[in-house]
Structure 1
């Protein structure tokens, strides 16, 4: 099974469990680091932060399902956590939720001599992100974006 197919299957299996516990499946990834495989599940909720108890509850429920369904053939570690205050914005829904929030955009190449921009997300579409950076509106082509992170403030 391809990695993308595995991720799709895992999302299909994990999302109802996470939703059933009243959390949002923010992101899921299956990565190899060194000789170890990790299934990382990031959860969120509408109000308040994610606690250690929240992560434990989701981890137990997902672990039970994975033991039964057994979709991953190789050995792996299961990690459940919050996406964090400086969370990566992966989807259109994530971007929409954080319009008018401060973000950090890292680029795959230079744009006007810079590899990263920080500012308030004003708008976005399939072609570009528009941010207010140091009082100037900057249009960043989506094709140059390598990652977008929320710049959380406590």
Structure 2
């Protein structure tokens, strides 16, 4: 998060928590003519299996936060406030969130290039303090959480029931046999 996003997050987190929710993080996107302040909220981790964030929660947070921002006025100029649930491609903002999703795939944008790359997609292997280890194409890559600009989970569309199962190179997950998808040589029945 940017310094401004961190400042706004610290200001608004108690308000969101008072509504029984958790502030995952904030994206602050300054732009000429008006900035965007996007809050990502979720239910506390202990309640994640029992309930999810709905439009009612987003509206309640929007009302309370908007009033607080009007009083505190931490943002100069015009801005648009957006409140969102994390969704299936959940953004990750801190080391604790990465640790919660160890074993999941994430797409990460880096602030500064590392190992010749600014972006990576890999499985979160472990988190040790402020260092996150990713498995990228079978190679471990350590990244400081301070060098992460943006990160999101990569949804497993097949597990969610929205796409064909994909076979990853070297995919040897126990109990999860790989499925072959139709390739270039596949033929479709022709219409008459």
Q: Which TM-score tier does this pair reach, normalised by the shorter chain?
A: 0.7 to 0.9
Q: Does residue 37 of structure 1 match 2:35? A: yes
Q: 53-62 vs 39-48, which deviates more?
A: 39-48
Task: Pick closer, same or farther for the CA change 1:105–1:50 going to 2, 3 Å.
Answer: same
TM-score with structure 2 setting the length:
0.63
Where does the alignment leave 5 or more consecutive residues of structure 2 unmatched? 161-192
Alignment match, 2:21: 23
More RCO (CA 8 Å, sep 6+): 1
Q: Distance in 2 between matches of 1:13 and 1:139?
A: 34
Write out the 4+ residue segments of structure 1 that deviate beyond 4 Å after TM superposition: 113-116, 143-146
- Within 5 Å, give how 1:1-154 maps onto structure 2: 4=3, 7-8=6-7, 10-45=8-43, 46=45, 47=48, 48-107=51-110, 108-109=112-113, 111=115, 116-125=119-128, 128-134=131-137, 136-142=138-144, 146-153=149-156, 154=160
Q: Distance in 2 between matches of 1:146 and 1:77?
A: 21
- Kindly provide the CA deviation profile for residues 67-117 of structure 1, in whole angstroms up to 9, marking residues without a partner as x: 333333322111111233222322111111111212223455473x76644
Task: Pick closer, same or farther for the CA change 1:59–1:102 going to 2, 3 Å.
Answer: same
Contact 2:36–2:80 (Cα < 8 Å) also in 1: yes
Task: Pick closer, same or farther for the CA change 1:101–1:5 going to 2, 3 Å.
Answer: closer
The count of corresponding residues between Structure 1 and Structure 2 is 149
Where does the alignment leave 5 or more consecutive residues of structure 1 unmatched? none
**RMSD over aligned Cα, in angstroms?**
2.9
- Between Structure 1 and Structure 2, the one with more strand by share is 1
